[in-house]
Structure 1
Amino acid sequence: MKRNTLAMMVGAGVALAGLLAWAFAPRPVAVEVATAAAGPYEQSIVEDARTRLRDRYVITSPLAGRLARIALREGDRVSAGDTVATLTPILSPMLDERARREQSARVEVAEAMLQRADATVQRARVGLESARTELRRSEQLARENFIAPAKAESDRLSAQAAQKDVEAALQARHAATHELETARAALMAAQSPSGQVASFPLRSPVAGQVLKVVQPSETTLALGAPVLEVGDISQLEIVTELLTTDAVQTRVGAPVRIERWGSPGTLEGRVRRIEPAAFTKVSALGIEEQRVNVLIDISSAPSSWQALGDGYRVGVRIVTVAQSSVLRVPVSAVFPLPGEGMAVFVVEGGRARLVPVEIGGRNGAEAWVLGGIQAGAEVIVYPPAALRDGARVKKRSVPLVQQG
């Protein structure tokens, strides 16, 4: 075989081997990377909420009566002490002639009882005067030893008993006087036309707006029946129902961002109270959840949220962790290790290096890294399942997304 032919065959074999080696060599894995950087970090709880009045006043009927038609409507402003409704007391059923005569007879009986009580008082006073006269005579005779001392003592006791009779007669006359006044009042109420009965005004306890008119039309109300509701719209608060596991992480005074309230911008607030008792609520998926009410005060200027009203739906973001400057990476770059702990893939020299990290917290977009990597390290976002330590990678940078 000629030397040129052998050289050509050897060259073709080497080329073929190189081509095969290139064809079957592992390709660099295309990955997206982000740079670990220092910056502010927040961890928050996002939940739906609603507004409500801090103080709501329900005006009720203080007596059974006829309610006049209410001219006020929802949204009307009232001042403290304004008359918001008028109530006319309900009289007893109309009496027939026989009942009227019976009531008149009761008045006459009460008058006679009073006269008898007066006579009893007069008789008791006469008896008291007689007993006192007899006592004075007995005491004088006893001093002159004309009668026994026991007779004077007996007359003294008789005078005391006569005094008690006078007091009892006075009490009886007092009771008879009240009985006569009651009988006369009942007769006057029965004989008075309904139009002459004085009306009773219902007044607003506070300055604010009418929230609800329960009885707009003229009607008869029972004692304690609700008539309307009033309140001061400027005194709004927000209530949200948190899972008990989230409520444990929340503290009184925590900052709150109020979002999705129907207008551009975000309102500021503070947690005022976390109620101590939880309740069971069934979710839309039919799962029983233990939730607790958390009350939030709006700290933004009232002029910025004056369009809000009672019962409006809003979204709240309660900040549970806030750091001014920490090392952050995208939360999608962090994954759990098979044993314990967390790790990230760092790009070094065109290869992926598995690095265990210590995580201080995570939110929906970022992870707070306490140790394991330094600022400026390039971490792989959404690492593929086939990626291994030391694998060649081809990177494409993505920005570090901050939590909104």
Structure 2
Amino acid sequence: MLQKKTLLLATVAGLAAAALLAWAFAPRPIVVETAPVLLGRYEQAIEEDGRTRLKDRYTVSAPVAARVLRIALREGDPVAAGETVAVLMPVMPAMVDERSAREAAARHLAATANVARAAARIERTQVAADEAQLELQRTGKLAREGFLPPAQLDAGRLALAAAKREVEVALAERQAAVHEQAQAAAALLPANAGARSGQPLTVRSPVDGVVLRIPQASEGTIAAGAPLLDIGDPAQMEVIAELLTTDAVQAQPGGAAVVERWGGPPIAARVRRVEPAAFTKVSALGIEEQRVKVVVDLDAPPESWRVVGDGFRVTLRIFTQRVDQAVLVPVGALFPIGDGGMGVFRIEDGRARLQPLELGGRNGSEAWVRSGLKPGQQVIVYPPPTVSDGHRVEARQP
């Protein structure tokens, strides 16, 4: 009996040890992270930094070189079309050095002498005209009495006419000399910054809008063509972004877009124009890139983005593909399979099953599955290397 009992205990101990070893070396389920397959809207978009700008920006400039009075307007003030935005006054004469002052004084003296010379010439030509008048009278008397031929009388008349023309020339020369004297005298006047002589020139706003920028609000002398202020309508806003040429070919005019990260809710927008010419831009990493400008119009009413101003930084998303009622799977669940396609591990009865997929597209977070999965199924996200087809798995608890 003792031997039988000992044998029975040894057998039980051996079976327990075998069961313990089998349990210890048996494959355990791999804990994995799972995600459900969803049915929703798939969107694929190009995302790029952009900036806002006014559609029509007007730079009001000075038409002539002048002295602009202090501009009372400030950035943000509304202006109406035709409203005076700046007043220009004639510029003060330039300051002269000693040499130039002496030259101006000498020119004034020369002009004064020319006036005197012109006056003397007037007297001389007047005397010649009087002499020609007397000679014509004597010639006419002798011609009527028959002592002189008619031709000599005609010559006398022509000499009188020429003498009168000389008087007119002398008078004109004296008038020119007087003007030259006045011009030379004006050059001697000292420069006076406080002078306000001359008619002011008013500069008016070309359109209704608000003042965007005033380069120089204080009074000062400006050159012709110098900008005085910028005017625009903030309600007419657009967004411009510089896309890579490989992305820009997918942004078609009329395509939907959205403006984000401007400090408020997303704003619906639409692509208006893709410029035809690209340009080279060096990235922050020193890589030369070919980019093209894309212009986008805001579809939302101005009241929803009235705080956005000109030149604000925003994020622009241009949609290139949008599908409703699409089967969606996380991008982290995808991995390449041997035939060059993509696949996932779906969970079926606690085991991982390799599932090839036909994809319609993918973005940064989701993939659109044309065939291979159904909504509601569970897939393994970021499958570990130890997972294989048919391996037991266990979903990680949150």
- TM-score normalised by structure 2 residue count: 0.74
Q: Which residue of 2 aligns with 1:19?
A: 20
AA in 1 matched with 2:334:
V
Tell me: CA distance 1:187–1:214, structure 2 relative to 1, closer, same or farther (3 Å).
farther
CA RMSD across the alignment:
3.1
Q: Secondary structure at the match of 1:386?
A: coil
Q: Which residue of 1 aligns with 2:330?
A: 330
AA in 2 matched with 1:261:
W
Tell me: CA distance 1:186–1:210, structure 2 relative to 1, closer, same or farther (3 Å).
farther
Instruction: Determine if contact 2:78/2:210 at 8 Å carries over to the other structure.
Output: yes
Q: Secondary structure at the match of 1:256?
A: strand
Cα deviation per residue 1:55-85 (whole Å; 9 max; x = unaligned)? 1111111111222221112111111111111
AA in 2 matched with 1:340:
G
Tell me: CA distance 1:381–1:10, structure 2 relative to 1, closer, same or farther (3 Å).
same
**How far apart are 1:312 and its partner, in Å?**
1.2
Cα deviation per residue 1:122-176 (whole Å; 9 max; x = unaligned)? xxxxxxxxxxxxxxxxxxxxxxxxxxxxxxxxxxxxxxxxxxxxxxxxxxxxxxx
**How far apart are 1:240 and its partner, in Å?**
1.6
Q: Secondary structure at the match of 1:249?
A: coil
Q: Which residue of 2 aligns with 1:272?
A: 272
**How far apart are 1:100 and its partner, in Å?**
5.1
Cα distance between partner residues in 1 of 2:108 and 2:8 = 144
Instruction: Determine if contact 1:53/1:237 at 8 Å carries over to the other structure.
Output: yes
Instruction: Determine if contact 1:33/1:397 at 8 Å carries over to the other structure.
Output: no
Cα distance between partner residues in 2 of 1:74 and 1:100 = 50
Tell me: CA distance 1:40–1:186, structure 2 relative to 1, closer, same or farther (3 Å).
farther
Q: Which residue of 1 aligns with 2:38?
A: 37
Tell me: CA distance 1:252–1:397, structure 2 relative to 1, closer, same or farther (3 Å).
farther
Q: Secondary structure at the match of 1:11?
A: helix
**How far apart are 1:238 and its partner, in Å?**
0.9
Cα distance between partner residues in 2 of 1:259 and 1:307 = 14
**How far apart are 1:344 and its partner, in Å?**
0.3
Q: Which residue of 1 aligns with 2:258?
A: 257
AA in 1 matched with 2:394:
K
Unaligned runs of at least 5 residues, structure 2: 122-171, 190-194
Q: Which residues in structure 2 correspond to 1:140-219 (within 5 Å)?
A: 195-219=196-220
Instruction: Determine if contact 1:255/1:319 at 8 Å carries over to the other structure.
Output: yes
Q: Secondary structure at the match of 2:249?
A: helix
**How far apart are 1:42 and its partner, in Å?**
0.8
**How far apart are 1:190 and its partner, in Å?**
7.5
Q: Which residue of 1 aligns with 2:389?
A: 389
Which shows bigger deviation, 272-281 or 230-239? 272-281
Unaligned runs of at least 5 residues, structure 1: 113-176, 399-404
Instruction: Determine if contact 2:111/2:184 at 8 Å carries over to the other structure.
Output: no
AA in 2 matched with 1:31:
V
Q: Which residue of 2 aligns with 1:295?
A: 295
AA in 2 matched with 1:378:
Q
**How far apart are 1:6 and its partner, in Å?**
2.5
Q: Which residue of 2 aligns with 1:231?
A: 232
**How far apart are 1:7 and its partner, in Å?**
3.0
Cα distance between partner residues in 2 of 1:189 and 1:270 = 66
Instruction: Determine if contact 2:269/2:297 at 8 Å carries over to the other structure.
Output: yes
Matching of residue 53 in structure 1 with residue 54 in structure 2: yes
Cα distance between partner residues in 1 of 2:319 and 2:271 = 10
**How far apart are 1:357 and its partner, in Å?**
0.6
**How far apart are 1:397 and its partner, in Å?**
7.6
Q: Which residue of 1 aligns with 2:131?
A: none
Q: Which residue of 1 aligns with 2:320?
A: 320
AA in 1 matched with 2:81:
A
Q: Which residue of 2 aligns with 1:378?
A: 378
Q: Which residue of 1 aligns with 2:87?
A: 86
Instruction: Determine if contact 1:92/1:190 at 8 Å carries over to the other structure.
Output: no
- TM-score normalised by structure 1 residue count: 0.73
**How far apart are 1:334 and its partner, in Å?**
1.0
Tell me: CA distance 1:330–1:76, structure 2 relative to 1, closer, same or farther (3 Å).
same
Q: Which residue of 2 aligns with 1:71?
A: 72
Q: Secondary structure at the match of 1:44?
A: strand
Which shows bigger deviation, 3-12 or 250-259? 3-12
Q: Secondary structure at the match of 1:3?
A: helix
Q: Which residue of 1 aligns with 2:310?
A: 310
Cα distance between partner residues in 2 of 1:186 and 1:19 = 128
**How far apart are 1:91 and its partner, in Å?**
6.9
Cα distance between partner residues in 2 of 1:185 and 1:232 = 52
AA in 2 matched with 1:222:
A
Tell me: CA distance 1:253–1:189, structure 2 relative to 1, closer, same or farther (3 Å).
farther
Q: Secondary structure at the match of 1:70?
A: coil
AA in 1 matched with 2:353:
R
Cα distance between partner residues in 2 of 1:189 and 1:218 = 30
Identity %: 50
Q: Which residue of 2 aligns with 1:247?
A: 248
Cα distance between partner residues in 2 of 1:186 and 1:224 = 34
AA in 2 matched with 1:313:
R
